[in-house]
């Protein structure tokens, strides 16, 4: 019965109940659930508890209680959460209008999207260009799928987890993603997937809920996010004004009290501009390898296949202006704020066609009695020559720069020339150069000598002094344990916690999540995946050692984190306590990190939720 009906039927009990409700709310300083009964005109209060609430209600109630003076603005901030904010930032389905899910998977990137199923990147791009909304369905994604992921509304994979390629890239782009939907059998050759007795063919429409990890057949009705509209444009809708105002107030208070800076992982000017709108204070990770995909891969192939230094230099020279233009755009979007640019990290064979695919093409041509394409033969020879049993621990990162002549010089020159151009345009570029996968101080010293030489050369040639801080990623256990030595050559550290977690645990991220993580979670070996939330006892201990020893050697050492943990609410609290200067995460997690950095500061000061 609504309370308005009780007021009409029994005014005395109604007034007594309202008085008790006000007493309880003032006592608990919160929304309360109560149970009561009325017997022969007498009101009985049976029990009360602090009421459960949705994410929307949590923000609204905290703001109202602060307005009423029942709690402080700091306690209002402590009563909301980054997880709740993330749920408010993306579209969702009208749950009253959807039926039973077709499949369940891992909620890898939040939001909801509807589109026609496609099974390869080219088809996703073709249909999207024609104005059709699509969902890219794959067993798992690779860098080759990037154009299709950009074109798609959502990504659905049958393998992988929250830190798989699909999940990490989708979160960075703000795309809906469900990974590890193991009930789904994907058949890209027949262009269909099956779930139990249901077959979904290319072109059929599905709805993907990246917040819940569910997939529905057909088009489910979408509800837009007023919070995202506010973060993107600053606009308040009339109907959503109280909620948006409550979120804005919480973020402002978090910004006032937090010590941690929040930067973004951004590889394009568009990502950098969006991150700045979301409140990012710079770019903590710009992955230059993403600039070598698409049409530019041909130039990378030419560099790899070069028969001598002259051919290699010609390929690098063709790449240089493209990289320079990318850096100009990002530095312009983040003018006056730091932009940390990581030199090339992955092994070069990742930029070549798939080994099996090449071998099949060459073998098929030979079986038909035809001569294989010479370029295919040349590529297959290069792939076989560069093949590694464990490429994650092979020729990549700083090792690549030390053994491939001209690669580091080309990238650093592109950064330096971009800085010069922005200075000449009246800008304030704050580029930083980060050397990846360093194991020893000697590696960093050699890399830094080349970096400094190129910066000086460009400065002398242009008449514009080029000053870029040079630092390194700490993503290997040995680097963490010898951080004091490495700090002699590094002006900043950035923890690459994705690879650090892999090497500390001995896990191959793309394999273990599908192979046995669900069993480990069920058996209580760990409560959450160490790729989602920082492993404080192992990985976290190495972080603490590296922070202490790095700062002992260089007190002004700037330290941050650029792995996906930088946007995880619980991990942000750890990084605050460990004394880091900043966290960096995908643009769409920046507001979450801002909120949690503020909550961590209050928690550290002992001024948190006092209920």
DSSP string across 569-603: HHHHHHHHHHT-SEEEE-GGGHHHHHHHHHHHHHH
Query: Which of 605, 521, 526, 532 has its CA nearest to residue 570?
Result: 532
Angle subtended at Cα 590 by Cα 588 and Cα 591, rounded to the nearest 5 degrees: 95
How far apart, in whole angstroms, are the C-alpha atoms of residue 350 and residue 333? 29
Tokens of 581: 């200067």
For the chain, how big is the Rg over CA atoms in Å? 27
Beta strands 222-223 and 154-157, pairing class:
unpaired
Q: Which of 165, 349, 565, 573 is catalytic?
A: 165
- Among 179, 286, 562, 585, the active-site one is 562
Spatial CB neighbours of 119, under 8 Å, sequence gap ≥ 6:
136, 137, 138, 186, 188, 191, 192, 193, 202
Q: Where are the beta strands (DSSP E) in 25-77?
A: 32-39, 42-50
Using CA atoms, how far residue 351 sits from 160, 318, 347, 396, in Å, is 22, 16, 8, 12
The backbone torsions φ and ψ at residue 63, rounded to the nearest 5 degrees and listed phi first, read -65, -40
Instruction: Give the whole-angstrom CA distance, residue 246 versus residue 244.
Output: 5
What CA–CA distance (Å, rounded) separates 176 from 154? Answer: 5
Which residue is listed with tokens 């909120």? 595
Annotated catalytic, 576?
no
The CA–CA distances, whole Å, from 359 to 9, 253, 303, 305, 373 equal 83, 59, 21, 17, 12
Cα 376 to its chain centre, rounded Å, is 35
H or E element in which residue 469 lies: strand 469-474
565 catalytically annotated:
no
Q: Measuring CA to CA, which residue among 295, 37, 96 is closest to residue 17?
A: 37
The interaxial angle of helices 590-604 and 569-578, nearest 10 deg, is: 50
Burial of 428 (0-12, 13-18, 19+ CB in 10 A): exposed
503, 442 contact by CB (below 8 A):
no
Strands 92-93 and 222-223: antiparallel
**Token pair of 508 as six digits:** 């191959």
Distance CA 432, CA 285 (A): 10
Distance, in Å, from the CA atom of 384 to the CA atom of 398, rounded to the nearest integer, reads 22
CA 572 to chain centre: 14
Closest CA to 473 of 326, 334, 344, 351: 344
Instruction: Please list the active-site residues.
Output: 165, 562
């Amino acid at each position: 019965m609504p309370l308005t009906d009780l007021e009409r039927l029994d005014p005395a009990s109604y007034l007594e109940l309202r008085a008790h409700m006000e007493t309880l709310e003032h006592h608990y300083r919160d929304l309360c659930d109560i149970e009561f009964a009325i017997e022969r005109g007498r009101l009985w209060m049976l029990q009360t508890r602090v009421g459960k609430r949705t994410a929307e209600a949590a923000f609204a109630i905290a703001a109202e209680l602060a307005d009423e003076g029942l709690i402080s603005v700091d306690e209002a901030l402590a009563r909301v959460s980054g997880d709740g904010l993330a749920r408010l930032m993306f579209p969702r389905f009208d749950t009253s209008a959807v039926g039973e899910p077709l499949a369940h998977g891992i909620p890898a990137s939040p939001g909801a999207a509807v589109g026609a199923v496609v099974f390869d990147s080219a088809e996703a791009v073709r249909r999207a260009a024609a104005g059709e909304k699509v969902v890219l369905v794959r067993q798992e994604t690779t860098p080759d799928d990037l154009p299709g992921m950009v074109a798609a509304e959502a990504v659905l994979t049958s393998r992988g987890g929250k830190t798989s390629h699909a999940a990490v890239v989708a979160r960075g782009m703000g795309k809906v993603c469900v990974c590890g939907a193991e009930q789904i059998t994907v058949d890209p050759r027949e262009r269909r997937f099956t779930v139990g007795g249901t077959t979904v063919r290319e072109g059929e429409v599905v709805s993907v809920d990246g917040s819940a990890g569910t997939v529905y057949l057909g088009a489910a009705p979408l509800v837009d996010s007023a919070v995202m509209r506010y973060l993107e444009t600053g606009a308040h809708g009339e109907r959503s004004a109280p909620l948006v105002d409550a979120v804005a107030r919480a973020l402002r208070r978090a910004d006032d009290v937090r010590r941690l800076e929040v930067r973004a992982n951004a590889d394009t000017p568009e990502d950098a501009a969006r991150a700045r709108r979301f409140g990012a204070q710079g770019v903590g990770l710009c992955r230059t390898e993403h600039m070598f995909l698409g049409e530019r891969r041909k130039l990378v192939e030419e560099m790899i296949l070069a028969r001598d230094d002259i051919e290699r230099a010609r390929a690098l020279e063709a790449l240089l202006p493209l990289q320079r233009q990318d850096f100009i755009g990002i530095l312009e979007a983040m003018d006056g704020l730091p932009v940390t640019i990581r030199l090339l990290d992955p092994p070069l064979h990742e930029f070549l066609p798939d080994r099996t695919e090449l071998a099949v093409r060459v073998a098929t041509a030979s079986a038909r009695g035809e001569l294989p394409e010479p370029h295919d033969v040349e590529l297959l020879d290069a792939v076989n020559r560069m093949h590694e049993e464990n490429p994650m621990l092979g020729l990549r990162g700083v090792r690549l720069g030390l053994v491939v002549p001209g690669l580091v010089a080309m990238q650093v020159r592109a950064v330096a020339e971009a800085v010069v151009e922005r200075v000449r345009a009246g800008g304030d570029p704050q580029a930083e150069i980060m050397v990846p996968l360093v194991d020893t101080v000697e590696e960093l010293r050699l890399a830094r000598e080349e970096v400094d030489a190129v910066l000086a050369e460009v400065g002398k040639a242009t008449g514009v002094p080029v000053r870029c801080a040079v630092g390194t990623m700490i993503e290997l256990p040995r680097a963490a344990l010898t951080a004091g030595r490495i700090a002699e050559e590094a002006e900043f550290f950035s923890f690459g916690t994705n690879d650090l977690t892999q090497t500390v645990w001995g896990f191959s991220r793309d394999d273990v999540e599908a192979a046995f993580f669900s069993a480990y979670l069920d058996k209580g070996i760990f409560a959450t995946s160490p790729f989602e939330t920082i492993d404080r006892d192992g990985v976290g201990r190495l972080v603490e050692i590296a922070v202490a020893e790095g700062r002992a050697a260089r007190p002004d050492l700037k330290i941050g984190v650029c792995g996906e943990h930088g946007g995880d609410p619980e991990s942000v609290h750890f990084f605050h306590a460990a004394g880091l200067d900043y966290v960096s995460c995908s643009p769409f997690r920046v507001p979450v990190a801002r909120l949690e950095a503020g909550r961590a500061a209050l928690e550290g000061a002992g001024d948190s939720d006092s209920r």
